[in-house]
Structure 1
Amino acid sequence: MIPSHTRPFRGIYTATLVPLDDQDRIDTDRLAQHFAAAVATDGIVGVLCNGHAGEVFLLSREERRLVVQTAREVIGNRAIIVSGVLCEESGEAQRHAADAQAAGADALLVFPPFSWALSQETGMVLRHHQAIARAVDMPMMLYQAGVRAGTLAYPAETLEQLVQLPQVVGIKEGSWETAAYDVNRRLVAQAAPHVEMMASGDEHLLPCFAIGSDGSLVSLAVLLPEEIVALDRAIQRGDMATARAMHARIQPLANAIYGTAPGGLATVRLKACMELLGRWPSGHGRQPIGALDAAEMARLRGALVAAGLMGAR
């Protein structure tokens, strides 16, 4: 549900996960509980489902639609539902976007196709987003990839044109580097000041929030929603002592999940934390990712203890 006030898309969103049963099917009951928990904290305005943390790249078209349907049934009357669209071909992306709209999503987050990590140019990027915009009448968010993600990250001239598409309302900014974030923020503020710039690099929340942000779509909010909301609010009121205290809670766990090689295990690390905290019976991902080994689990247990989320044993 999109609120009726001015600038309705501002705020903190939980980027949700997908629980699987022992047959690697989506556990819909647990997924429903997950969505309810994801927006239970005051200050969380919505969810991003079918994102990278939601293993969108490993879900079928039908499963992506099921995820949105479940979110709509559970939280559709009280939170914004943003659904990711990740497809290599624009026609397929149009069909996935239409599915998301029919299933009850409020907005789309269009991810760059993974093939763009090898090569992209402004025309193809614009045509992809314009094709999706023709297929549905929905607000659209962009994804700005990390500075080390090859050509998945949009150069300035491409980003400047993208934010001027009439459907664009926000950007999940994941440059994962504060100087790049600041450059992009300044560009968007000049080219399209109505577009919300949302600092979403989980390891860089304090500096990016301090530079200035309109919110965040962040998977670490699955584990630390109160701390992330408190960090954002503290920065907004200029309370750096509280901001640093929240950062001290957030940063070690963020580093353990996202900042430890290989970075491709970040999603399954989040899911493993759900298992370690007793929220899910299993935190495994789909193949080829699977489950973490004992050493990874022990390291994450230590990070959860350090964050105050579980007691030492």
Structure 2
Amino acid sequence: MIITEVRQALAWGLVPAVPVPRDLTGQIHEQAQEAYARYLASQSIAGAAVWAHTGRGLHMDRSERISVLETWRAALGESKLLVAGVGAIPDFRLLGAAKIDRWKQDSLSMAADAVQGGADALLVFPPVILHELPETERNQAIVDYHQALGQLGKPLILFYLYAEAGGIAYSTEVLRALLSLEMSVGIKMATLDSVMTLQDVSTLMSEEFPEQLLITGEDRMFGYSLMRGARGALVGLGAAFPNIQHDLMQAYADGDYAMFMALSARVDGYAESTFIRPMDQYILRMLGCLALSGVIPEEAANDLAHYRMTRQEIASLRRAIERYRLY
């Protein structure tokens, strides 16, 4: 897909960031993975995002990543978007420029695998490693890195992620440079509790980059982020029960504000039951929701980080599903 087509597909579309079902040993549960991909592809989604944080993309080995990509490409067909997260974990055995160079090589290799595997767009993990550089050098390095990814020929979804989840703050000057890149289609905002950051970026985009998409990744501010100008969603919350979230977006797009408010309250309740501290366990909670809804078997609701849910936590998820009438 070309940039225009990707942007059109993302506009008012929901792209779930998908987890990877695993067995108790940590191996991918292939049957559950295929069943999940088929299920989600049949729902009201614009596509799916693999290798994102929800899928532990930076922590999977290359063979696992390629397998996951192939499964989702086959399930989605050509009519839905396949977005792939790209980045790398620094090699801390190296220092200074050598560490950054190796990280960049690994990131570009991951992106090349995504392109080769049929990804339609790349979600760029924030290059946190560049925070080690002096400000002026860092800002230029951030832009240069995104330009290098753009040269692979796939549209880029920029990513503003809160620091606690491994993000980096982009200055207004850096944002302007990134949003001006030829291959940029928009930016995913995931600031969690920094409403000021969301507001500032949304204002910048509406005033200076109206052609670019503000894409919400604000699981805990879903409805509000639409009110602030988001016109697409790429969210971990969408990994389970995507249809109610799609309908929420559609209600706002249609100007049906009574429906929007009603659905927003239910989606907020869902998020407030799953995106809670410890925040990194939201992935396991999404897998738990999928198991409770019968999409994957219970034995496949395991995360690469090897967290475990108590019976009380599972019961809490079940109550949330019923209370907020998720579908």
* Kept in 2: contact 1:201–1:218 (CA 8 A): yes
Render the CA deviation track for 1:86-111: whole Å, top value 9, x for unaligned.
Answer: 21411111111110111111110011
Percent identity over paired residues: 27
**CA deviation after TM superposition for structure 1 residue 280, in Å:** 2.0
- Root-mean-square deviation over aligned CA pairs: 2.4
In the superposition, the TM-score normalised over structure 2's length comes to 0.85
Tell me the secondary structure at the aligned position of residue 144 of structure 1: strand
Q: Cα–Cα, structure 1 residues 309 and 149, in superposed 2: closer, same or farther, change >3 Å?
A: closer
Q: Which residue of 1 aligns with 2:303?
A: 285
**CA deviation after TM superposition for structure 1 residue 79, in Å:** 0.3
Render the CA deviation track for 1:138-191: whole Å, top value 9, x for unaligned.
Answer: 111111112765862322222111111111112111123433212102212344
Q: Which residue of 1 aligns with 2:100?
A: none
Tell me the secondary structure at the aligned position of residue 105 of structure 1: coil
Render the CA deviation track for 1:204-226: whole Å, top value 9, x for unaligned.
Answer: 11111122222100122222222
Q: Which residue of 1 aligns with 2:78?
A: 77
Q: Show structure 2 runs of 5+ residues with no match.
A: 91-102
Query: Does 1:21 pair with 2:23?
Result: yes
Matches within 5 A, 1:13-162: 13-42=15-44, 44-87=45-88, 88=90, 89-115=103-129, 121-134=138-151, 136-146=152-162, 152-162=168-178
Q: Cα–Cα, structure 1 residues 284 and 8, in superposed 2: closer, same or farther, change >3 Å?
A: closer
* Kept in 1: contact 2:127–2:142 (CA 8 A): no
* Kept in 1: contact 2:7–2:213 (CA 8 A): no
Amino acid at match of 1:12: L
Q: Which residue of 1 aligns with 2:292?
A: 276
Q: Which residue of 1 aligns with 2:226?
A: 209
* Kept in 1: contact 2:7–2:185 (CA 8 A): no
* Kept in 1: contact 2:19–2:287 (CA 8 A): yes
**CA deviation after TM superposition for structure 1 residue 55, in Å:** 1.4
Q: Cα–Cα, structure 1 residues 190 and 148, in superposed 2: closer, same or farther, change >3 Å?
A: farther
Distance 2:209 2:199 in 1: 15
The correspondence for 2:243, drawn from 226, 245, 250, is 226
Larger relative CO (CA 8 A, sep 6+): 1 or 2? 2
**CA deviation after TM superposition for structure 1 residue 76, in Å:** 2.7
Q: Which residue of 2 aligns with 1:185?
A: 202
Tell me the secondary structure at the aligned position of residue 53 of structure 2: coil
Tell me the secondary structure at the aligned position of residue 187 of structure 1: helix
**CA deviation after TM superposition for structure 1 residue 300, in Å:** 2.0
Amino acid at match of 1:144: Y
Distance 2:267 2:172 in 1: 30
Q: Cα–Cα, structure 1 residues 309 and 141, in superposed 2: closer, same or farther, change >3 Å?
A: closer
Distance 1:149 1:300 in 2: 23
Distance 1:254 1:100 in 2: 30
Q: Cα–Cα, structure 1 residues 161 and 150, in superposed 2: closer, same or farther, change >3 Å?
A: same
Between 94-103 and 156-165, the greater mean CA deviation after superposition: 156-165
Amino acid at match of 2:284: V
Between 98-107 and 9-18, the greater mean CA deviation after superposition: 9-18
Amino acid at match of 2:34: A
Between 144-153 and 265-274, the greater mean CA deviation after superposition: 144-153
Task: Choose between structure 1 and 2: higher helix proportion.
Answer: 2
**CA deviation after TM superposition for structure 1 residue 4, in Å:** 4.7
Q: Show structure 1 runs of 5+ residues with no match.
A: none
**CA deviation after TM superposition for structure 1 residue 284, in Å:** 1.4
Between 263-272 and 110-119, the greater mean CA deviation after superposition: 110-119
* Kept in 2: contact 1:257–1:269 (CA 8 A): yes
**CA deviation after TM superposition for structure 1 residue 309, in Å:** 4.4
Q: Which residue of 2 aligns with 1:248?
A: 265
Amino acid at match of 1:84: G
Distance 1:165 1:200 in 2: 21
* Kept in 2: contact 1:143–1:172 (CA 8 A): yes
Amino acid at match of 1:298: A
Tell me the secondary structure at the aligned position of residue 198 of structure 2: helix
